[in-house]
Amino acid sequence: MLFHRRWWVTYLLIYLLADQSESCSHTFNMMINFKVNRKLLVQEDVKFGLTSELFNTLKRGTTLVEYSSPNIAKKFHAGHLRSTIIGNFIANLKQSLGNNVIRMNYLGDWGMQFGLLGAGFGQFGCQEKLKQNPLQHLFEVYVQVNKEAEHNEDMKQAARDFFRQLEQHESEAVSLWQQFREITVDEYQHIYKRLGVHFDIYSGESFHQDQAQEVVQQLQSQGLLKTSEKGTGVVDLSPAGDMSSVCTVLRSDGTTLYITRDLAAAIDRKAKYHFDEMIYVTDKSQENHFHQLFHILLAMGHSWADRCKHVPFGLVRGMKTRSGEVVFLEDVLDEARARMLHNMSQSKTTKEMDNTEDTAEKVGISALIVQDFKGPLLSDYTFDWDRMLQAQGDTGVFLQYTHARLCRSVLAQGDLFKWMLSQLAGGVSIFALCDLYSYDEVLYQSAQDLQPKHLVNFLLKLCHLIASAHRELPVKGSSQVVAQVGRLIVQSVNPYHTRH
């Protein structure tokens, strides 16, 4: 009889349990007789787990994932970091499962902050500083201008004027805005690279300024636009149609809002990229925003809005660096590296290496990611440098440590295939293998609810198994399990392994 590998393992487990536990052998009054093709069980498989028949029913197609989406000149907060790594996980997962994935960053690159920046740059800005450290300098200028505008009416007026010039596409204003934007994107690209994250498209709110006005006209012609008592343009979302719940899409001065631009952006993306599904990744405070967005799109007759999804996540408390509150993503990454370097220098087991900084960076970032991915996305959690960087326990450090150890044993010992076969029928290795073969189920679960916790907890569990295998089996013996596990870990969480 030919069984799928996953079933063999299940049967083998029954067999082993029945065989090893005298006391419960009487409960097995049925004899299962089968042969295990051990060779097949441990054979290498490049697309390990991904070719499982479990995935046959999954819909494939084009998936647009929008994530990260920071706001130019404003603070990059923990929510943006979460969106970046969670969105990247979802994009990698979808891609692994055979979807055509479009990775999009939707920058907050429009709005009054540019009025303020544009108006204030002449006074507080410096081209040299802008080139050297763009994110920091733009933020400094932004903070200074805001302070000034608090008590200086002229500054406020100048900001309004600058933004109006932008909205009217006046070339001088536009070219300054463009410079701010380009410089910011360059800088971000650099930092995303450290996280193993990339985007196919850098879009942004600015792209949909004009289209947003068209959306308002469409809403009007469809009879969906109402005028509120305050003179704003609203869409009635109440089931009874009594305006008890409305969404504002137009200010009384005729300018559009965040949601109006999102409506335009969604329609534009559908027309350009023909996605089969679109996923937005932001913190849970925007749940209502996306609920309203999908609702209005459906009301406008865009039935594909049913295939748009918001993946919300909880808040992170206390993300601080030694110098205080986090303003820039780079600071968090630098701090992770510095703390890891320190821990490595303190640890007696740290080996001599040439690329200490690079190792500290990779391990530190893994720690950051694993801390974030362990629990359900919707839960809030408290950021804790010490806990997340522990070498023991369920951390990214432990995961990378196991991975490194596996790589070393595989490389150092070459082919121990035969030995593995002889050991297979008993001991820890079989349990490690059993677990390994539930990889497709784990991926399937993640594909269903888009939660990274299934995969991360699976890997952490495997690492514990491997640790006991290393303890209990002769060192040489773990080779094949090791090879599979090593590949798995590399394929799954290691942020430096992105497939383009």
Which residues are designated catalytic?
A: 74, 77, 80
Per the CB < 8 A criterion, the answer to whether 392 and 398 are in contact is: yes
Closest CA to 105 of 194, 209, 212, 184: 184
Rounded to whole angstroms, the Cα distance separating 140 from 144 reads 6
Rounded to whole angstroms, the Cα distance separating 185 from 385 reads 28
Provide the minimum distance between the beta carbon of 196 and ligand ARG in the complex, in angstroms, as a whole number. Answer: 21
312 binds ligand ARG (CB under 6 A): no
Helix (H) or strand (E) holding 316: strand 316-317
Helix runs in 274-350, H state only: 287-299, 329-346
Q: Indicate the residue type of 94.
A: K
Provide the minimum distance between the beta carbon of 261 and ligand ARG in the complex, in angstroms, as a whole number. Answer: 8
Q: Token pair for residue 426?
A: 């008993």
In this chain, which of 8, 106, 121, 383 binds ligand ARG, going by CB under 6 A? 106
Rounded to whole angstroms, the Cα distance separating 469 from 426 reads 12
Per the CB < 8 A criterion, the answer to whether 212 and 263 are in contact is: yes
Within a 10 A sphere around the Cβ of 354, how many other Cβ atoms? 6
Provide the minimum distance between the beta carbon of 69 and ligand ARG in the complex, in angstroms, as a whole number. Answer: 4
Rounded to whole angstroms, the Cα distance separating 381 from 281 reads 17
Which one, 66 or 187, has the nearer CB to ligand ARG?
66
Per the CB < 8 A criterion, the answer to whether 101 and 63 are in contact is: yes
Count of positions on this chain that bind ligand ARG (CB under 6 A): 8
69: helix, coil or strand? coil
Closest CA to 112 of 69, 89, 146: 146
Provide the minimum distance between the beta carbon of 82 and ligand ARG in the complex, in angstroms, as a whole number. Answer: 12
Provide the minimum distance between the beta carbon of 188 and ligand ARG in the complex, in angstroms, as a whole number. Answer: 13
Residue ranges of E strands in 330-473: 381-382
262 binds ligand ARG (CB under 6 A): yes
423 binds ligand ARG (CB under 6 A): no
Residues in contact with 169: Cβ distance below 8 Å, sequence separation at least 6, in sequence order: none
Per the CB < 8 A criterion, the answer to whether 403 and 482 are in contact is: no
Closest CA to 358 of 371, 340, 345: 340
Provide the minimum distance between the beta carbon of 280 and ligand ARG in the complex, in angstroms, as a whole number. Answer: 5
Per the CB < 8 A criterion, the answer to whether 181 and 72 are in contact is: yes
Rounded to whole angstroms, the Cα distance separating 190 from 186 reads 7
In this chain, which of 282, 343, 491, 494 binds ligand ARG, going by CB under 6 A? 282
Binding to ligand ARG by CB under 6 A, coded x per residue (else -) over 44-73, reads ----------------------x--x-x--
Provide the minimum distance between the beta carbon of 72 and ligand ARG in the complex, in angstroms, as a whole number. Answer: 9
In this chain, which of 6, 62, 100, 108 binds ligand ARG, going by CB under 6 A? 108
Q: Indicate the residue type of 36.
A: V
Backbone phi and psi for residue 246, each to the nearest 5 degrees, phi listed first: -125, 160
Q: Token pair for residue 179?
A: 């410079």
280 binds ligand ARG (CB under 6 A): yes
366 binds ligand ARG (CB under 6 A): no
Provide the minimum distance between the beta carbon of 329 and ligand ARG in the complex, in angstroms, as a whole number. Answer: 13
Q: Contact residues for ligand ARG (CB under 6 A)?
A: 66, 69, 71, 106, 108, 262, 280, 282
